[in-house]
Chains A and B, each alone.
Chain A
Amino acid sequence: MTVKYTKDHEWIRVEGDTATVGVSDYAQHQLGDVVFVELPDVGRTLAQGKEAAVVESVKAASEVFAPASGEVTEVNADLEGEPAKVNSGAETDGWFFRMRLSNPAELDGLMDAAAYKDYVEGLQ
């Protein structure tokens, strides 16, 4: 089970041929209190780097980009009633959606946890 991170602060956890996607703990901290999440429809085709979801904080809306290409297979229904899970469990139960990857090699270009940690430190 590997977790990779994008420069835009999404994470993707691959288990076999399914991947789970969310935003990082750094991202939720930057966003502030999340009040609404717009998730993609199941079955939607996603392209790496293109918009996949929208997360709304009290102050503003932010786009969430697909870390890799593929098809949405499941969305986190809990986020509808409890969007604050994105804050309390950004990298655990605040996941956004699951997808089947169409090109797993795309993950090679993403950062592992250590590299992402360095990247975030460089931003502060």
Chain B
Amino acid sequence: MTQSPGTDSPESLKKTPLHALHVELGGKMVPFAGYDMPVQYPAGILKEHQHTRARAGLFDVSHMGQVRLTGDDAAAALETLVPGDIKGLGERRMRYTLFLNETGGILDDLMVTNAGDHLFLVVNAARKEHDVAHLTERLKGRAEVELLDDLALMALQGPDAAGVLARFVPEAADMKFMSYLPATFNGVPVVLTRSGYTGEDGYEISCDKADAEAIARALLAEPEVEPVGLGARDSLRLEAGLCLYGHDIDETTTPVEAALEWALPKRRRAEGGFPGADIVLGQLQNGAQRRRVGIRPDGRQPAREHTEIVDEAGNRLGEITSGGFGPTANGPVAMGYVDIGRAAVDTPLTLMVRGKPLAARVAAMPFVPQRYYRG
């Protein structure tokens, strides 16, 4: 049987503040974005995934970049790098946006929060060095950029997350989806957002790295909460139709191609003023040549990243960018890019898996219903 590679020495990998806890809990540690991270715990990916949708899962996402932008002009300055509405982002509100390059390609996806006296950004682990350098260079003189690497970040996700967190932070229960709240957890300062990467209700909890383990242990002591690794994090977000940078979106994909037009609000479309605006606005006007779509293979066999998508005659239509098995969807799920003419839901596709054609069809995303808190 082929062996998975594992050549990074654990000593050369970075550790989050929860590393010792992961090892204690029996986490199977693997390299991810330069960190030694748990891909799963003894329960396994399937159970961890299902538990998150049934009750509550706790994820360590401290490897991601937490960034503070300060300056009177910070929102306007950030708008020069992203197509989102940052100036109009209300206090203690957050939104999803994208760093774009001059050809309209995506440099990273991120969450931006208006924290009152600063903007709080969460960026992908694999891009945090790039993003901080990008922000520093481009916002020089207009805003201060600070990577907050003395902080930890955890996600508590699932239908029981609100009930659990309210035992420690009663105000958390009233938080609206995509909102931000500084609070206290067992006497220790934390910053909460009601957001996540699973399609479920849940929170992200930012804290000082010295406090992270105690908070994690307190949450794990609650009967509803189990630890969840990166393997289930990926299957959860895939079922939710959420992009993974470097796979579903990258510098070669525009927001229009990536079916992320909803992140481009009216004012920014009218005004432009973000990198690649000409190309992106042109695609909004005239359509792009390809589109990111959900894909459901027929049968039980998963089709994974880089699987070629062809038509009945064997002509290439595109490629899968993320694919695997969806435990809640109870079958294989995938997303990928197809020629624009083949992007409608239910369009039949053929996937070339290990040289054999596999029938599939374009499917609506998310693959499982979203259950964000709507008040």
Q: What is the interface of chain A, defined by CB distance below 8 A to chain B?
A: 8-10, 23, 27, 30-33, 35-36, 38, 54-65, 80, 83
Could you tell me if B45 and A33 are in contact, using CB atoms closer than 8 angstroms? yes
Could you tell me if B1 and A55 are in contact, using CB atoms closer than 8 angstroms? yes
Chain A residues with Cβ under 8 A from B324's Cβ? 58-59
Closest Cβ of chain B to A7, distance in Å, is 10
Chain A residues with Cβ under 8 A from B300's Cβ? 35-36, 80, 83
Select B1's contact among A35, A36, A63, A80, beta carbons within 8 Å.
Answer: A63
Could you tell me if B231 and A32 are in contact, using CB atoms closer than 8 angstroms? yes
Q: Given contacts A30-B4, A35-B332, could you give 13 more A-B pairs where the C-beta distance is less than 8 Å?
A: A8-B2, A33-B47, A35-B300, A35-B325, A36-B302, A38-B301, A55-B1, A56-B325, A58-B46, A61-B302, A62-B2, A64-B1, A83-B300
Cα distance A101–B133 when bound, in Å? 61
Closest Cβ of chain B to A51, distance in Å, is 9
Cα distance A59–B231 when bound, in Å? 7
Q: Is B272 an interface residue (CB 8 A)?
A: no
Could you tell me if A36 and B325 are in contact, using CB atoms closer than 8 angstroms? yes
Cα distance A23–B1 when bound, in Å? 8
Chain A residues with Cβ under 8 A from B39's Cβ? 59
- C-beta contact mask, B313-351 vs A, less than 8 Å → 1, else 0? 000000000001101000010000000000000000000
Could you tell me if A27 and B1 are in contact, using CB atoms closer than 8 angstroms? yes
Closest Cβ of chain A to B233, distance in Å, is 11
Cα distance A27–B2 when bound, in Å? 10
Q: Is B66 an interface residue (CB 8 A)?
A: no
Knowing A36-B301, A36-B302, A80-B300, the reply to whether A65 touches B325 (Cβ < 8 A) is no
Closest Cβ of chain B to A43, distance in Å, is 17
Cα distance A101–B235 when bound, in Å? 40
Chain B residues with Cβ under 8 A from A54's Cβ? 354
Cα distance A36–B300 when bound, in Å? 7
Chain A residues with Cβ under 8 A from B4's Cβ? 30, 60, 62
Cα distance A60–B30 when bound, in Å? 14
Chain B residues with Cβ under 8 A from A61's Cβ? 302, 304
Q: Is B40 an interface residue (CB 8 A)?
A: yes
Q: Is B34 an interface residue (CB 8 A)?
A: no
Q: Is B44 an interface residue (CB 8 A)?
A: yes
Q: What are 10 pairs between A and B in contact, CB < 8 Å?
A: A8-B1, A35-B325, A35-B332, A36-B300, A36-B325, A38-B301, A56-B301, A58-B324, A59-B39, A59-B324
Knowing A35-B300, A35-B302, A36-B300, the reply to whether A58 touches B2 (Cβ < 8 A) is no
Chain A residues with Cβ under 8 A from B2's Cβ? 8, 62-63
Cα distance A59–B4 when bound, in Å? 11
Chain B residues with Cβ under 8 A from A55's Cβ? 1
Chain B residues with Cβ under 8 A from A31's Cβ? 1
Closest Cβ of chain A to B352, distance in Å, is 14
Closest Cβ of chain A to B47, distance in Å, is 8
Give the nearest-CB partner of A24 in chain B. Answer: B1
Return the 10 tightest CB-CB contacts between A and B, nearest first: A33-B46, A35-B325, A58-B45, A63-B2, A9-B1, A62-B2, A8-B1, A58-B325, A36-B300, A36-B301
Cα distance A58–B3 when bound, in Å? 15
Chain A residues with Cβ under 8 A from B3's Cβ? 8, 30
Chain B residues 215 to 245 lying within 8 A of chain A, measured CB to CB, are 231, 234-235
Closest Cβ of chain B to A29, distance in Å, is 10
Could you tell me if B1 and A58 are in contact, using CB atoms closer than 8 angstroms? no
Chain B residues with Cβ under 8 A from A63's Cβ? 1-2
Give the nearest-CB partner of A54 in chain B. Answer: B354
Give the nearest-CB partner of B231 in chain A. Answer: A59
Knowing A33-B46, A35-B300, the reply to whether A62 touches B325 (Cβ < 8 A) is no
Could you tell me if B235 and A10 are in contact, using CB atoms closer than 8 angstroms? no
Closest Cβ of chain A to B327, distance in Å, is 7
Cα distance A80–B301 when bound, in Å? 10
Chain A residues with Cβ under 8 A from B332's Cβ? 35-36
Chain B residues with Cβ under 8 A from A65's Cβ? 1
Give the nearest-CB partner of A31 in chain B. Answer: B1
Closest Cβ of chain A to B244, distance in Å, is 13
Closest Cβ of chain B to A66, distance in Å, is 11
